[in-house]
Amino acid sequence: MARRKLKHRVTLLQFKEKSRPSGAVETTYYAIGDRWAEVVPTGGRKYYSTVQFNAEVTHQINMRYARDVTEKMRIRFIVDHATGTFEVYDVKAVIQNEHDRREMTAYCVKLSSQGLMGEINAQT
| pLDDT tens for each residue of 80-114 | 888 888 899 999 888 887 677 788 999 999 997 65
Expressed as residue numbers, the domain containing 95 is 8-121
| pLDDT band at 58; cut points 50, 70, 90 | confident
Beta strands in 50-98 (DSSP E): 54-64, 74-80, 85-96
- The identity of residue 61, as a single letter, is I
| Residue 2, in any domain of the structure | no
Is the pTM for the entire model greater than 0.85? no
Whichever domain contains 101, its CATH number is 2.40.10.270
| Residue 1, in any domain of the structure | no
pLDDT surpassing 50 at residue 76: yes
Contact 61, 89 (CB under 8 A): yes
Provide the domain count of the chain.
Answer: 1
